[in-house]
Amino acid sequence: MDRLAIRRASEVDAPAVLRIFDEVIAWFVEMSNEGQWGSEPWSTLPQRIARVTEACAQPEAWVAEDQDGGIQAVLVLGESMPYVPSATEPEVYVRVLVASRDARVRGVGRRLLAFADDRARVAGVKRLRVDCYGGGTGALVRFYESCGYERISAFNVDGWPGQLLGRSL
């Protein structure tokens, strides 16, 4: 973990980020969790390629990179998603957080969430929110709770169960 550097992402990082999504989706398929992101590799879906490329170009898009230049995780901060209630106070919203399943980088998701806390402090903001898949075993919701987030509200987008969570600094 100490050998990972966090740097701003750019559009050129999209293929590496798509590989992480593909890796995670393959893992989800193995555990019968196709409900979160489907079962098709995102690197083969033009709409997903465009969304990831756009996300990587955002001003608050960050990647965790190893010493060899391999991207191991991505974090995108920004405005809240349109399907969740509007913020009632200034906030930093975690739009994307996905990390490699490689055991050598275990904990990088937590490290990036701590980095999001730092970005909020720099911006003078005391509130963070994130939404995630609320179905399956609930493991993702529990992950965010273990990072200090609390459940705000459940929601449903066209049959996709979601959970909105928040954290105060």
Domain spans of the chain, in order of start: 5-168
What is the reported pTM?
A: 0.94
**38 pLDDT tier (thresholds 50, 70, 90):** confident
What's the rounded Cα separation, in Å, for the pair 105 and 1? 6
The region of weakest confidence among 9-13, 33-37, 54-58, 83-87 is: 33-37
Domain 5-168 fold: Aminopeptidase (3.40.630)
The answer to whether 102 and 93 are in contact (CB under 8 A) is no
